A and B are shown apart, each in its own frame.
Chain A
Amino acid sequence: MKKMAIKNDIVKNLKTKLSNQKIKISFGNKIGLGYDGCGTHTHK
């Protein structure tokens, strides 16, 4: 079967703000939920 095309070492939608006081890196995507009780991992 064809697996999902996910590159696990790349985070999509990383927002970045650089200023002298603060560097802010935020994640703009909706997070999926995965847990050990079920067979799926609804990621990305």
Chain B
Amino acid sequence: MRSPWLSREYEKSKDVIVTKINENYELKNENTNTTIVLNEDEYQKYENNLFNEIEWERLFLKGLAVDKNCKDLVIDSSFDVSNKKFIKSNKVENFLLKVGNEKFEILINPELGSWMSFSEKEYRRYENNELTQEEWLSLFIRGLAEDKEHTEVDFDFPLPADYPSVIVVNITTGCNLRCKYCFADCGPFKGENMTEDVMDATIDSMLSMPQVKVITFEFQGGEASTNVPGMRKFIEKVESVKSKYDKLVKYRAEINCILVTQELIDLVKEFNVSVGVSLDGPKEMTDQTRVDINGNGAFDRIEKGIKKLRDNGIYIDGAVCTIGQHNVHYPRQLMEYFDKVGMNFKPRPVNILGREKENNLTTKPGEWAKCFKEMHQMKDEIDVENFSVHIFEENVYTPIRDYICLRYPCGAARELVSVNPNGDVFPCDGFKGEKKFVMGNVLNEKIEDMLKKPEIIKLRNRTAETIEKCSKCRFRGMCCSCCYSAFGKFGDIYREDPHCSDRRQMYIYLMQAWIQENVLNKELKNEKQSVVS
């Protein structure tokens, strides 16, 4: 039985004393008086640190091994695993997974996204209720089995926020590019800058929200860098009033790097504004989509802007790399390009909103999954941080769900809201071109009050159960249909993600990849190591 879910970095406990008794070895923690008996083979694995995560867990949950990263383990003296009456759970599903030439049975809790892989032999033991108490316990703590006597398992992991800590400030709707997939349909000659009354109301609404301690104002547009005076005015207003509130304030700007002026550089440096850029890879890819009003590619100007920022000592946090027909077939070139320019990046498919509806650049079914898999396979070869690899691995391999677009309920009108130059507030910046999703206007009401409206409460509670296809999906605990992407594709936020079939392929692939690396490859390596030692 193997699983990355809840796995830790284990090591031997200094409190354990080993005694050889006949052919076996007794491990005893003298402080807690707990023991376990290992046979010769098991002991050799223990001694040579060759236990897998489930074998270590068996020791850990008896206080006979420790977690390198967290010493916080409390075992009540009343706890006795041998008395538990574990049974199969009707909340779990199983499916067969092929990894290379091997077959594994996967037991998954669709609600939690927890899973365990079994060899065929192990799975037969599970089916015949022949698992050991320790093996049942490993299933139980992952929500994959139940206790007949109703012992409760409490997963105390951070919950989705109730109040936004990030507000996307669309400081202008004007843009100096006319990207072919722009979801907000922005472009030259469409500019409307944020007025001071909207700035004042937005700042007051966010800073006076008592429930939030850290607020990030993220400038977007249109193109935020076409309204640097507006950004400066906004930030100066925040700075002049923030001492009245007990808040930590941060600033971010998402820019296209076409217009990197001295005014922008000064602003970024003075107020420690973190900067992200939009870039679709090397010139031949970026120039196909990120174009100006005349259809000319913007890559050379973007590259010049990035250089100017860096020459002035400004670090670029990362790049959003929109994936579509212009780059989806070139994962290696993308990885190598971002490695070469020394920039973290997040590839994600084009959303079907705004101008994309005319241009049909988004990926076809299977293309995004193929691109992702190939990038994942290069992750150890090409030393660049690919946030999508990180995000999806985290969701498949752990209970952590801190990426707000890949978790139910998503972060729209929870961690995040977005305000347009006229004061209209949206649940997510993805909706900023869609009037239908206006939550209210900051000139008339507080954001906190907008969150209490019935239609916003409904959106805030958009879980997998509210979406027919997702409610039946075994991967729903590690996934989320992007609300504005679903709206763009289907005209309805209560639909599956437009890239649903790709996502499913990615989850299965990541399970296969983990098993290949940690079960098949490692066992082979351990066998060789055992022979040598």
Contact = CB atoms under 8 A, between A and B. Distances in A.
Interface of A: 1-4, 6, 8-28, 31-41, 43
Given A38-B252, A41-B391, 17 more contacts: A8-B397, A9-B7, A11-B6, A11-B400, A16-B72, A18-B74, A20-B80, A23-B152, A24-B156, A25-B153, A33-B404, A33-B415, A34-B387, A34-B402, A37-B254, A38-B318, A43-B390
Nearest to A12: B69
Contact of A27 (B153, B158, B254, B318): B158
B390 A6 contact: yes
A25 B7 CA distance: 12
Interface hub of A12, A14, A19, A43 (most chain B Cβ within 10 A): A14
Closest 7 CB pairs of A and B: A39-B276, A26-B156, A19-B76, A8-B393, A39-B318, A1-B342, A9-B4
Contacts of B404: 33-35
Given A20-B80, A20-B151, A37 B6 contact: no
Interface string B451-482: 00000000000000000000000000000001
A23 to B, nearest CB: 5
B78 A40 contact: no
Contacts of B346: 39-41
B383 A14 contact: no
B344 A39 contact: yes
B151 to A, nearest CB: 6
Interface string B336-358: 00010011111010000000000
Interface in B11-66: 61
A15 to B, nearest CB: 4
Given A16-B73, A40-B276, A9 B397 contact: yes
B72 to A, nearest CB: 4
24 contacts: A1-B343, A6-B390, A8-B389, A8-B398, A11-B398, A13-B72, A15-B70, A16-B73, A17-B73, A17-B74, A21-B151, A23-B141, A24-B154, A27-B158, A28-B72, A33-B216, A33-B404, A33-B415, A34-B402, A36-B430, A38-B317, A39-B254, A39-B387, A43-B403
A39 to B, nearest CB: 3
B376 to A, nearest CB: 11
Interface of B: 4, 6-9, 61, 67, 69-70, 72-76, 78-80, 83, 140-141, 151-158, 165-166, 168, 216, 218, 220, 252, 254, 274, 276-278, 317-320, 339, 342-346, 348, 383-385, 387, 389-391, 393-394, 397-400, 402-405, 411, 415-416, 418, 428-430, 482, 514, 518
Contacts of A11: 6-8, 398-400
B52 to A, nearest CB: 12
A33 B432 CA distance: 20
Contacts of B274: 40
Contacts of A32: 402
A31 B467 CA distance: 27
A24 B74 CA distance: 10
